[in-house]
Each structure stands twice: as structure tokens, then as C-alpha cells.
Structure 1
């Protein structure tokens, strides 16, 4: 694992020293994924969801060129409210550090930094993946390659439904990333409960997922991540017909406006927010809060498994 130069928040540093459960959280959802001023409120709610389930939240980001594992509230506020916060994948970290940037870490960067810090569980909303028309554009999220080489469990609601879900699952298989459905054998579709694709494995409790993590260590499976696919209940998903209509409109606008690369995801998510009159935002918030809760319960179960007296 790469030796990043990290600064630890006081609470996170103490928790890691005491081998208490810690959950990594990304900062891109705060700076780029949610609109102001909701983003800061939701960021605090996410951290509280982790605490309520018995773990310590470690939101990861960059402040003035310094990588921080466990942003304090002032730093979280800075990334949520400042203009010019850079979206950081793994490839961007060194340049951003050298230039003293403020930056929000993506799934790829957060995974790598969390693993380097010794954090085993990470909660996010949805993974990046293979983009539609990737056969022509070769557009694929760095999240996939990062997960192929990072030993961490990522709790998510699948991949964002604006992507090519089938192709993403094929890439995860090729890259050796294990995908386990939480109480389901169907892969979730982020805003919608079911993406239409089957899964080979499922787990019905945080304790079983902790057992899987322990078995990976016992068998030396440290080359890649574990994706825990956690679907929304059907009564909490975005209306599927509204979803499909909004997605079709957004893809058409994407082509019309010539949007490409890493601008695609925020563009389409903003379109969903506008076209659904905020319904997709409410769903997005439910997703990340539920995933934060499950990730914390997995981290607690893993800590208890390692030390039953804890």
C-alpha cells in the first residue's frame, strides 16, 4: 500500500490506537455531490449516523495541501462552502498537495487513503463505473481500478444508475473485486432498488460481512476490495418510470452540451435533482445515511470479532 503522508483528526487517531471501529467517508459528496447548503447539513448527518451505530466517522479530504483522515467540523465546513474545491482521485493527490489545494476525495482516493490509514470499512452513495458508450470513449471511473488494488469493504447502493451497470459488473469481475449483496441477490441501481442484474453472493447480517473480511485476511486475499451492495427498500426508491424518463432526458442533454469525462456524473446528478424537483436528492440522502449506518455496524462487528471482550 502506498505510504501517503496523512494527518489524523484527534478522534480518529484515538480510535485507531484503541482498535475501535472506524468508518471512512468521502468528501466529494460534500463538495460536489450535493447542493449548498444541504451538503454541510447532510455531511454532519452522515457522521452522526456512523456514531449512532457505534463507530467513529473519518471523513477524508485535503485542506491546504494536507491529507486529513478525520476532518473536524471547521474543515468539513470549509470543503462544503468554499469555491474552487478540487475533486481528487488518486492521480491528483500529489499535484494537489504540492500546490496547497483544498480537495475533496473521490471513492478511489478515499479507498486508497482509508486503507493506508488502517481503516477497513468505507461508506459511500454509489460507485463510479463504466460509462455508457465506453466502447467509443474508453470512459471508465478510476474507482474500479482503485478497488482492484485496495483491501477495503465499500458499502454502496451499487453504481450510479447513469452508468452502464452491466459493463461495470463485468469489469469488477475481471478486476477481481468481490461483490456481495446485503440481503439481496440483485444488484441495486442507486436511485432504484433493482438494476436488473443478478449477484452470485449475498450476506444477511453485518456479522457475516465481518466474517467475510476476516476470511479474506486469513486466506491472504488482499489484492482487492469487497463491494457490499446495499439496496434501498422499494418504498424508498425513486419512482422507476420517473427515473428512466429523467435519465433519457439527461443523456440527450449530455450529448447536446458536449459534456465528457469527470464532468458527466455531476452534470447528470444535477439534472436529476432539477428534473425530479428534488426527489432524487432526497433519495440520494437516504442512500448515504443507510449506507453509513450499515458500514458502522459492519465495523463494530469486525472489531468485536477481532476482540470479543471489546
Structure 2
């Protein structure tokens, strides 16, 4: 019988012993979210950004069936370069561990492992959510239900703009997930600074986010995660007209190709990369680096 335990990277274990601020990072952006060799370069930049802002990065993934909180350089390079890395949501963690797989954790799985490890802040690019046409397909990301039950603050640029943003916000409200805008009362749309939807709450600095986390802990009232929606500056977003045209083309292509389920998001993101001649990738990288910086400053403020 295999002893299935969570392993902590040496730098994370040291940080935990010292009470140093730690930021959880997902690994699907390394294995499935970015093309090679940019994926490895960006993974290193994300960790460097966290360190520069005063926290310790804990990239989470699975190596030969072992969940690792704080992958080292060689393990990150392995996930970045291998063709056999499984994309792991929460439901996949145990089967993949039993099978001895290499795996990269999604937002849902990273959040679950980080919460188990006692890491309160997580940085990602954009959340999953309710897919367009979900009224008939029931297609929505496991990110939503995971965040409904996990005590973690997740810094993101909203949800991916290829999704049904309005329906996603409704689901987050139903599931008890708090959403605050960072320096804004408008919900960001990943590639876009403004998705067109208002927010009830906003905060202007990392200390303000830290105070919300402290209040939730002090109250002890069960609730979901805290989503910190961090928009790109308008000057750094993808051109809105280009975005809308490419999205319409991508949605039409989905229907022609009969793409459904978990293949929808990779299809549309790939289409954006090709149709924008790499501009969407540049925006994606700016998003995750800005979120990593903010998450580290929030962790330090805690």
C-alpha cells in the first residue's frame, strides 16, 4: 500500500516554520495554459514576482502521484516540458495519485490543496465559470463549487471573457463567494478591464484585503472564498473591438467543429492566440504577473 501524503518543497516548509507569507500558484498555466517554451519562462517570472513582492511562492502540482506544495525548479521544468501531464481538478487528485501520474492543478484543485496546507492567498489569471449555453448543457467550472467551501483569497482578473460572465457572478453570489474589486467597482473581464458588470464592494490596498480576511476568520461564520478581482489598466487590455470580433469568430468555430465540454476553453484560448497574433498571450502574461504581485503583497499584509 502506497502512503499518499502531501509533500512540501523545502522553501515552503521553511517559510511555514518561520511564519513567512506564502502565495499558492497553480500549475495548469505551466502545462496547459501557455505554449512552449514561454510556459517555463513565465513560470519562473511568476515565482520571481512573488519573491520580489515579499512572499514565498508555492507552485502546486503532482509528481509521480505525489501532491507537492512548492515544486522545485526541476519539477516545474518537468511539468512544462512533458506531454503526459494530466490536468487535475479536485475530483482527479485521488485517482491520479493512485495511478502515479504527473499532474497540473486547476484553480479548483490548487485552491483545495492550498487550503489544506494552510496557505490563505492564491494567485491565478482568470477563474473558470458558467459557460455560454449552460442553461441547456449544465456546463460550469468546478472552480465555482470549490470556492464555495474553501477559506482562501484568490487574486484574479475576473473570469475568462469567453464565459457567461453575468451568470458566473450570479452563481458566485448563490454559492456565498465574496467578490471585491481591487481599485474598482466594476468586475474585470480577463482580457478586458471591464466586463460590464458592477460590484458591491471594492478595496484600494493590500491591507484592506487582509482586513477582510481577518474579519472572516474572526467571525467564524462559514462562507466561501474571497475573490479579489484585479483588473488590467485600460491601456494594457486587449483592444475591445478586436476581442469581440475574435470571440464571435471563436464561438462560431465551436459550433461548426462540434466542440463541447472541457475542450471548449482550450479551443477558444488557442483561437484567441492565433487570431490576435499573440497579443492575447501577452495580455495573459501581464495578468498573471500583476496578480502574483498583488497576492504577495496581500500575503505580506496578513
- Give, in whole Å, the separation in 2 of the partners of 1:191 and 1:173: 23
- Give, in whole Å, the separation in 2 of the partners of 1:155 and 1:258: 33
- Give, in whole Å, the separation in 1 of the partners of 2:106 and 2:264: 14
- Give, in whole Å, the separation in 2 of the partners of 1:55 and 1:221: 28
- Give, in whole Å, the separation in 2 of the partners of 1:161 and 1:270: 14
Q: Please name the residue that 2:287 is paired with.
A: 287
Tell whether 2:49 aligns with 1:49.
yes
2:24 partner SS: strand
- After superposition, give the CA deviation of every residue in 1:204-233 in whole Å (9 maximum; x if it has no partner): 000010000000000013431000000000
- Give, in whole Å, the separation in 2 of the partners of 1:6 and 1:222: 25
Tell whether 2:68 aligns with 1:98.
no
- Give, in whole Å, the separation in 2 of the partners of 1:297 and 1:113: 21
1:163 partner SS: coil
1:91 partner SS: helix
Q: Alpha-carbon deviation of 1:18?
A: 1.2
Q: Please name the residue that 1:237 is paired with.
A: 237
2:184 partner SS: coil
- Give, in whole Å, the separation in 1 of the partners of 2:63 and 2:259: 28
Q: Please name the residue that 1:305 is paired with.
A: none
Q: Alpha-carbon deviation of 1:259?
A: 1.2
- After superposition, give the CA deviation of every residue in 1:263-303 in whole Å (9 maximum; x if it has no partner): 1111110100000000000000000000000000000000x
Equivalent runs, 1:42-121 vs 2, <5 Å: 42-121=42-121
For the aligned residues, what is the CA RMSD?
0.7
- Give, in whole Å, the separation in 1 of the partners of 2:43 and 2:293: 13
> Given that residues 88 and 103 in structure 1 are in contact (C-alpha distance below 8 angstroms), is that contact kept between their aligned partners in structure 2?
yes
Equivalent runs, 1:128-277 vs 2, <5 Å: 128-277=128-277
1:188 partner SS: strand
Q: Please name the residue that 1:30 is paired with.
A: 30
Equivalent runs, 1:13-28 vs 2, <5 Å: 13-28=13-28
- Give, in whole Å, the separation in 2 of the partners of 1:256 and 1:28: 27
- Give, in whole Å, the separation in 1 of the partners of 2:221 and 2:5: 25
- Give, in whole Å, the separation in 2 of the partners of 1:223 and 1:60: 24
Give runs of ≥4 in structure 1 deviating > 3 Å: none
- Give, in whole Å, the separation in 1 of the partners of 2:235 and 2:223: 37
TM-score, reference length from structure 2: 0.98
> Given that residues 183 and 203 in structure 1 are in contact (C-alpha distance below 8 angstroms), is that contact kept between their aligned partners in structure 2?
yes
The count of residues paired between Structure 1 and Structure 2 equals: 299
> Given that residues 150 and 222 in structure 1 are in contact (C-alpha distance below 8 angstroms), is that contact kept between their aligned partners in structure 2?
no
- Give, in whole Å, the separation in 2 of the partners of 1:27 and 1:202: 28
- Give, in whole Å, the separation in 1 of the partners of 2:45 and 2:222: 32
- Give, in whole Å, the separation in 2 of the partners of 1:255 and 1:89: 26
Q: Alpha-carbon deviation of 1:5?
A: 2.6
> Given that residues 122 and 295 in structure 1 are in contact (C-alpha distance below 8 angstroms), is that contact kept between their aligned partners in structure 2?
yes
- Give, in whole Å, the separation in 1 of the partners of 2:5 and 2:107: 18
TM-score, reference length from structure 1: 0.96
- Give, in whole Å, the separation in 2 of the partners of 1:169 and 1:222: 20
